[in-house]
Amino acid sequence: MRRTLQLAAIGTAAGAFSGLFGVGGGTIIVPLLVFWLAFGEREATGTSMAAIVLIAAYAVVLQATYGNVEPADAALVGVPAIGGAIAGTALQQRLPERAISGLFAVLLVVIAVELIVP
Amino acid sequence: MNEVLTALLGFAGGMVGGLLGVGGGILFVPALAIFQDQPQVEAEAASLLAIIPVAAVAAWRQHGYGNIRLRDGLLVGALSLPGVAIGVVVANAVSQRALELAFAALALAIAARLAIRALRPSPAEPERSP
């Protein structure tokens, strides 16, 4: 029960941050799974991906009601990105888990700089 | 030429996403905004649509590698919907700049904890809450 509540809290936080900043929930989900539920890095990133499918789907439905979604643009980045995701997950299996934490820290610093610089 | 650069950034975004368990929007949005001249809102919307198949394929691959707790992931995703509503309400109540700075501070704090974790030798050690 406690675990379910923790997962619910992570989902709510991820949704709130994506509603606030337009960042995908992954930046919040991965560290919370690691630090709060003691997931290993690989498990945290894999599980985050399943959550992101639903979060992004909600957000697209919301955006579509405002008529903002352009499928041709999505395909332009999304089709090559599918190849990138297959390569990225394969590369991840060859890295030590702690290296994934280190790279994630770099990603968060980049996001922080983007937010601070107007 | 711009199409090629957009596609290259798309590939890179997917790679970062697959590697780190994020959607890849951090590269999709600038790719569309800069090289396709899309306004920010349209770029974010197209980025979100692109993220759905990318995250689905990455989740499928991670399932094959045995790195996914599907029930947990679907629970987190399903319960994000009330969070989105909370986020939108808060965004309208508080200054956007204050929110950005607060999130930047939070991101740096988490980055510091992750960096400390990355430098620890033993992956077998259980983590403790602060």
Q: In angstroms, what separates the C-alpha of B2 from chain A's closest C-alpha?
A: 11
Confidence of residue A96 (pLDDT cuts 50, 70, 90): very high
Give the per-residue pLDDT at B109: 95
pTM: 0.89
- State which residues of chain B have pLDDT below 50: 128-130
The answer to whether residues B40 and B86 belong to one domain is no
Q: In angstroms, what separates the C-alpha of A105 from chain B's closest C-alpha?
A: 4
Q: How does B34-63 read in b/e, with b if 16+ C-beta sit within 10 Å?
A: ebbebeeebbbbbbbbbbbbbbbbbbbbbe
The answer to whether residues B61 and B84 belong to one domain is no
Query: Which residue among B11, B79, B84 places its CB closest to the CB of A80?
Result: B11
Q: How far is CA B68 from the centre of its chain?
A: 17
The answer to whether residues B56 and B97 belong to one domain is no
Per the structure, how many domains does chain A have? 1
The answer to whether residues B26 and B49 belong to one domain is yes
Q: How far is CA B17 from the centre of its chain?
A: 7
The answer to whether residues B59 and B83 belong to one domain is no
Give the per-residue pLDDT at B39: 86
What is d(CA B65, CA B51) in angstroms, rounded to the nearest whole number?
21
Has residue B128 been placed in a domain?
no
The answer to whether residues B36 and B97 belong to one domain is no
State the alpha helices, DSSP H only, in chain B: 2-20, 25-30, 40-65, 70-78, 80-93, 96-119
What is d(CA B22, CA B16) in angstroms, rounded to the nearest whole number?
7
The answer to whether residues B60 and B82 belong to one domain is no
Q: The domain containing residue B55 runs over which residues?
A: 1-68
Q: The domain containing residue A103 runs over which residues?
A: 2-116
Give the per-residue pLDDT at B67: 97
The answer to whether residues B48 and B81 belong to one domain is no
Of the three residues B49, B68, B87, the one that is the final residue of a domain is B68
Is residue A99 within 8 angstroms of chain B, CB to CB?
Answer: yes
Per the structure, how many domains does chain B have? 2
Has residue B4 been placed in a domain?
yes
The answer to whether residues B62 and B106 belong to one domain is no
Average pLDDT over residues A6-12: 94
The answer to whether residues B1 and B60 belong to one domain is yes
Of the three residues B32, B52, B68, the one that is the final residue of a domain is B68
Give the per-residue pLDDT at B81: 87
Q: 């197209």: which residue's tokens?
A: B46
Average pLDDT over residues A109-118: 88
Residues of chain B found within 8 Å of residue A89, distances taken between Cβ atoms: 18-19, 58, 61-62, 65
